Amino acid sequence: MKTFNLTYTDDTALERFIHAHRLAHQEHILIQVFTGIIDKQFIAALIKNLLALLPQGRLIGATSDGIIDNNRILQLDTLISFSVFERTLPESYISENTTDSYSLGQSLARQFPSHQKIKAAICLTDGLHTNGEEFLNGLSSINHDVMIAGGLAGDNGQFKETYVFCDKGITSRGAVSAILLGEDLIVSNYNSFGWQKIGKTLTITKCDKNRVYTIDGMNATEVYAKYLGDEIRDKLPSTGVEFPLIIQRDGIDTARAVVKKHSDGSLSFAGNLKEGEKVHFGYGNTEHILYHREQVLNKTQMLPAESIFIYSCMARRRLLGEHLKSELNLSLDAVNVSGFFTYGEFFHSCNQAGLLNQSLTLLILSERAGIRTYVPKVIPPVEYNDSVQTVNALSHLIAQTTEELMELNRKQESIIRQEVAKNREKDQLLLHQSKLAQMGEMINMIAHQWRQPLNAISSVSSSLLLKSQLNILDRETLESKLKDINTYIEHLSTTINDFREFFRPNREKEITDIVEVISSLKSIIGDQLISDNISLEITIEHPLKPIFSYPNEIKQVILNLIKNAKDAIKSHSPANGKITIHVKASGKHIAISVTDNGGGIPTEVREKIFEPYFTTKEQDGTGIGLYMSNVIVRQHLNGSLAFYNTQDGTTFVIKLPTVPETGP
């Protein structure tokens, strides 16, 4: 095979070129057209003329962000590459107007012949509407072992309209492909990356395939502003190719460049990202990228190569500038090199086609099996001007500093995880101690609750026994007294159920009526407060929205606040002890206030009351009640617990989120 390049100027020069190279006499011709002229009419006219001159040819092409003609790098020009095969048959296909990018890939692959061995498929898709990764996934689902090359079309960094085309049509929302059939064709590929990670590790927190809404919980666009500045954000997506997101999949760093900025601040990337995936910003270090050029040269010299096609990221052209020729200078005699700069590159490895960004990809073809003789070449070092040297030095400084900070962060995260585990173990122990303490208090409350009905039952039964012994017990009196006993027993049963529900663990959150929760507390502690001459007043401001929470944990917290209030009142000894519970709506929360007239919390201890083991009770205090109440409210119930002193006591305020309203 042999490939000839023409930088198109006019139809007359095109006709002369075809005649000079006797292309009209060739049977198997693949024509690739790459153009920086984003004009559908121009493209249509060029296709028509080419097919008129070479009707036997198969043609594919794309708009670009620059073209590669051997050692020449051009931008607003048109390159026509004519590949003449001796024993290989090229065929072309087009697919468009499918529901999604995955279906687009499937639609294209279904057109490929199934009875012949396809050695390679050069695929080109539009660069703005097609999700390159989904397209390749769809294509691979039909035929996964075909060597795929090509990429996403460009439009000189304008991100307005891109086209792909073949001898069968033009589309701005679709894909084209040229397949190569022939047992004698030898196909090889190669890619070079070279972009480096920079900055902290970020997490994709909300996305839908290639559209990312939030990163680290922040609007995706604002993440670019935070770390790279407002100017980079405002010029997205064009600046996004310079600072892609780098992910690691199967141990290989892969970039994802921004191709579209949406009005809601979300960003579309050339390929998919996943929620929970760890990413870094990437940057191009000129020296690091060019370091790999010797590997590129060595690779191509060791492979059968009669033609080399390059599909390279637009970011490399913009970053490397005048040094780009050094990367593309393959120094191979009699081998034609052609290609274009893409918005994303297709690469095939391990029976799987993948989407790359910021990469240089090579498709190397030959119909001759002989390995090229490898002749080591002395590659002169790249000479940088002062500005490039400065950028390289700063890049090295940033990369080294970032690595040191990341290592420090990893060590800190390890220490934090260990401390968190210890704290969780401590909190579980404290919670267990708190439960044990409350169980003791509950037994005391049960004694208070049961004392009166048990005394009443004893009194009634003694009265019945005495009347029976004196033979003065009539049927009416017996039935009346037995009804009284049943009433007392029902009260005992209700009480024990209330206590049993209190100690039953809530494994899952449930819709909770806060009024029912507080009412049940009154039946638990009410009698004990009465015996201590303390009144309990409950006021509810309606309407109240339900909450989605753990009712027994709410009871535990409120009961602890009531007990603390009772102890403060007994210690302060006001004329009339009083505890007030007030419940009202507060925005998107329900506020539960527990107020006492127990004298208030002294100024010198206010900062310590939520600390573990701190107590002002000399004999009975454990110092874990308020600490655990605060932990439960904040960590389990997603609420808040605060306090303030009143004129004659203290008010504790619990705020719990209500169930959000849903639309129709």
Q: Which has the higher per-residue pLDDT, 552 or 492?
A: 552
Specify burial of residue 355 (Cβ count, 10 A radius: 0-12, 13-18, 19+): buried
Element (H, E) at 321: none
Rounded to a whole number of angstroms, the CA Rg of the chain reads 39
pLDDT at 623: 42
Please state, in angstroms and rounded to a whole number, the distance separating the CA atoms of residues 363 and 374: 19
pLDDT at 373: 45
- Does residue 441 surpass a pLDDT of 60? no
pLDDT at 376: 46
Average pLDDT over residues 628-641: 85
CB atoms within 10 A of CB 493: 10
Nearest to 65 by CA among 328, 317, 319: 317
User: Same domain for 276 and 357?
Assistant: no
Domain for residue 373, yes or no?
A: no
**Residue where one domain finishes, among candidates 236, 263, 284:** 284
Domain for residue 377, yes or no?
A: no
51-65, 352-366, 566-580, 614-628: the lowest-pLDDT one: 614-628
User: Same domain for 213 and 358?
Assistant: no
pLDDT at 375: 46
pLDDT at 210: 92
pLDDT at 250: 73
What DSSP designation does 191 have? E
Average pLDDT over residues 157-161: 92
pLDDT averaged over every residue in the chain: 82
pLDDT at 663: 43
Q: What percent of the chain has pLDDT over 70?
A: 79
178-187, 228-237, 543-552, 654-663: the lowest-pLDDT one: 654-663
How far out from the chain centre does Cα 616 lie? 48
pLDDT at 485: 76
Domain for residue 375, yes or no?
A: no
- Does residue 264 surpass a pLDDT of 90? yes
Domain for residue 362, yes or no?
A: yes
* CATH code of residue 520: 3.30.565.10
User: Same domain for 298 and 275?
Assistant: no
User: Same domain for 526 and 620?
Assistant: yes
Domain for residue 372, yes or no?
A: no
Confidence of residue 621 (pLDDT cuts 50, 70, 90): very low
User: Same domain for 273 and 158?
Assistant: no
User: Same domain for 596 and 519?
Assistant: yes
Please state, in angstroms and rounded to a whole number, the distance separating the CA atoms of residues 203 and 217: 8
Domain for residue 278, yes or no?
A: yes
Please state, in angstroms and rounded to a whole number, the distance separating the CA atoms of residues 464 and 470: 10
* CATH code of residue 459: 1.10.287.130
39-43, 128-132, 373-377: the lowest-pLDDT one: 373-377
User: Same domain for 452 and 570?
Assistant: no
* CATH code of residue 209: 2.40.10
pLDDT at 664: 40
Amino acid sitting at position 199: G
> Which of 26-35, 180-189, 325-334, 583-592 has the highest mean predicted lDDT (pLDDT)?
26-35
- Does residue 13 surpass a pLDDT of 90? yes
Q: Are 205 and 275 in contact (CB under 8 A)?
A: yes
Average pLDDT over residues 622-643: 78
User: Same domain for 229 and 130?
Assistant: no
Convert the pLDDT of each residue in 481-504 to its tens digit: 788 777 667 666 665 665 555 555
- Does residue 432 surpass a pLDDT of 60? no
**Domain count of the chain?**
4
pLDDT at 161: 95
Beta bridge partners of 32: 60, 81
Q: Are 272 and 134 in contact (CB under 8 A)?
A: yes
Beta bridge partners of 539: 582
pLDDT at 465: 79
User: Same domain for 9 and 146?
Assistant: yes
Q: What percent of the chain has pLDDT over 90?
A: 42
- Does residue 191 surpass a pLDDT of 80? yes
Q: Tokens 């279904």 — which residue?
A: 110
Q: Which has the higher per-residue pLDDT, 383 or 425?
A: 425
Average pLDDT over residues 123-128: 96
User: Same domain for 495 and 532?
Assistant: no
**Residue where one domain finishes, among candidates 259, 284, 309:** 284
Residues 6+ apart with CB under 8 A from 208: none
Torsion of CA 633, 639, 645, 650, to 10 degrees: -50
pLDDT at 251: 72
Domain for residue 378, yes or no?
A: no
User: Same domain for 654 and 614?
Assistant: yes
Domain for residue 138, yes or no?
A: yes
Please state, in angstroms and rounded to a whole number, the distance separating the CA atoms of residues 271 and 280: 16
pLDDT at 507: 56
User: Same domain for 548 and 600?
Assistant: yes
Nearest to 188 by CA among 147, 137, 238, 226: 147
Nearest to 312 by CA among 156, 192, 197: 192
pLDDT at 410: 72
- Does residue 540 surpass a pLDDT of 80? yes
**Residue where one domain finishes, among candidates 284, 302, 326:** 284
Convert the pLDDT of each residue in 287-306 to its tens digit: 667 766 666 767 777 788 88
106-110, 135-139, 411-415, 514-518: the lowest-pLDDT one: 411-415
Domain around 236:
195-284
Start-end of H helices in 179-291: 220-228, 230-234, 286-291
Confidence of residue 343 (pLDDT cuts 50, 70, 90): very high
Q: Tokens 């600390």 — which residue?
A: 611
Confidence of residue 155 (pLDDT cuts 50, 70, 90): very high
pLDDT at 374: 43
- Does residue 238 surpass a pLDDT of 70? yes
Nearest to 594 by CA among 631, 621, 569: 569
- Does residue 193 surpass a pLDDT of 90? no
Average pLDDT over residues 362-386: 64
Residues 6+ apart with CB under 8 A from 577: 532, 533, 534, 535, 566, 569, 570, 596, 597, 598
Average pLDDT over residues 261-268: 94
